[in-house]
Amino acid sequence: MKNQSFPVRLGFALRGFWHALRSERSVQVQVVAAVVVLLALLKLRPSWGWWALCGLASAGVIAAELLNTAIENLADHLHPDLHPSIRLVKDCAAAAVLIAVLGALGVAFALAVEMLRHGR
């Protein structure tokens, strides 16, 4: 399976994304949040730097959520019974999502302060 062409690898990635989007509520919530961020940016019209920060923050949260989904699915497949080590792995993956979300909220807060200072 190594050294596949780019279109084939892209297909794998898209299949994984669509599967997670259909099956994972948390991924759905984060994608909706990213759409809300996009709509807010279109309305507020901040500088390109803010677009980049918000885009990176949103992508980071969705990427963390996808990795969390992959880790949870793999852990559940390998060890369906509740095991302290598996629980720790899953908790750490969930914590990664939490940290990404807190970073994104920090960007949103900074943008809100910037917009208020400029009267938007």
What is the per-residue pLDDT for 2? 78
Measured from the Cβ of residue 62, the count of other Cβ atoms closer than 10 Å reads 21
CB-based contact 107:54 (threshold 8 Å) = yes
Q: Distance (Å, rounded) from C-alpha 108 to C-alpha 106?
A: 5
Q: Which CATH number fits domain 6-117: 3.20.20.150, 3.40.50.2000, 1.10.287.3610, 2.30.42.10?
A: 1.10.287.3610
Instruction: Identify residue 95 by its one-letter amino acid code.
Output: A
Look up the pTM and report it: 0.91
Q: What confidence category does residue 114 fall into, taking pLDDT thresholds of 50, 70 and 90?
A: very high
Q: Distance (Å, rounded) from C-alpha 62 to C-alpha 31?
A: 7
Q: What confidence category does residue 35 fall into, taking pLDDT thresholds of 50, 70 and 90?
A: very high
Dump pLDDT digits (tens) for 64-96.
999 999 999 999 999 888 888 999 999 999 999
| Residue 26 CB contacts under 8 Å (≥ 6 apart), including other chains | 65, 68, 69, 97
* Domain range annotation of the chain: 6-117
Mean per-residue pLDDT, 33-51: 96
